[in-house]
Amino acid sequence: MTSHSILLIFFLLFASVGYCQTALEYNEKGKAKLDIEDFRGSISDFTKSIEIDQNNEEAYFMRGISKRGLEDERGAIIDFNKALEINSKNAVTYYSRGNSKFGLRDYYGAIADFNKALKIDPKYAEAYRIRGNVKVALQDFRGAISDYTEVIQIDPDYTDVYLARGFTKLRLGQKESGCQDLSKAGELGSEKAYELIKKLCN
């Protein structure tokens, strides 16, 4: 092998390593900007990462999260769709897309995504919680209570879920049980729960 050939191989190997590292570096820079809510800056970095590696699932997902920070739910959905094309088994991406659909009042689309997230991860408490919120928006109060109960079984100290379940029970006329949930939320530190108890339970 000639010295010229050796140099060429070395150059190609070095370029390949640099290629991967640069995409990862843009991801890390984007995440750092996302942490300080510099959403436009993070979108720019994740876009550069995607330009280098078009199968970069994390960059599409994180760019979607950044777009949500700018309330660009439609743009976020496009990125979550792309991330799911690359990896259709990511519960967090389905959950995030469901949140974007909820923000656009596509309630049934949101529920479908939360269902997919829960099929992948049956213990995904946040997916149950937000699905419960969507059901409240649809006035499916019994369905919402069922979802909130699932959350409490996974996380018995989730204050906001006791609050949500209690208020939803009150909307169904289940005063005693609803007030018990509000009381539990109060015990866990919710000042709002005690305000609701004064208004609705006394």
Helix-, strand-, coil-residue percentages of the chain, each rounded to 5: 80, 0, 20
Residue 33 clears pLDDT 50, i.e. is over it: yes
Cα gap 154→132, rounded to integer Å: 15
Residue 5 clears pLDDT 90, i.e. is over it: no
Q: Read off the pLDDT of residues 120-167 as tens digits, 9 standing for 90 and up.
A: 999 999 999 999 999 999 999 999 999 999 999 999 999 999 999 999
Q: Give residue 98's pLDDT.
A: 98
Which residues fall within 8 angstroms of residue 6, CB to CB, at 6 or more apart?
A: none
Grade residue 16 by pLDDT with cuts at 50, 70 and 90: very low
With contact defined as beta carbons under 8 Å apart, do 68 and 95 qualify? no
For the chain, list the domains and their CATH numbers.
10-88 (1.25.40.10)
- Confidence (pTM): 0.87
SS3 labels along 132-199:
HHHHHHCCCHHHHHHHHHHHHHHCCCCHHHHHHHHHHHHHCCCHHHHHHHHHHHHHCCCHHHHHHHHH
Q: Give residue 72's pLDDT.
A: 98
Report the phi/psi class of residue 71: left, alpha or beta, with left for phi > 0 and alpha for psi in -120 to 50.
Answer: left
Cα gap 9→136, rounded to integer Å: 62
Q: Read off the pLDDT of residues 79-106 as tens digits, 9 standing for 90 and up.
A: 999 999 999 999 999 999 999 999 999 9
Among all chains, which residue has been given the structure tokens 């018995």?
A: 156
- 24: which 2 tokens? 């990862």
| DSSP secondary structure of 51-79 | HH-TT-HHHHHHHHHHHHHTT-HHHHHHH
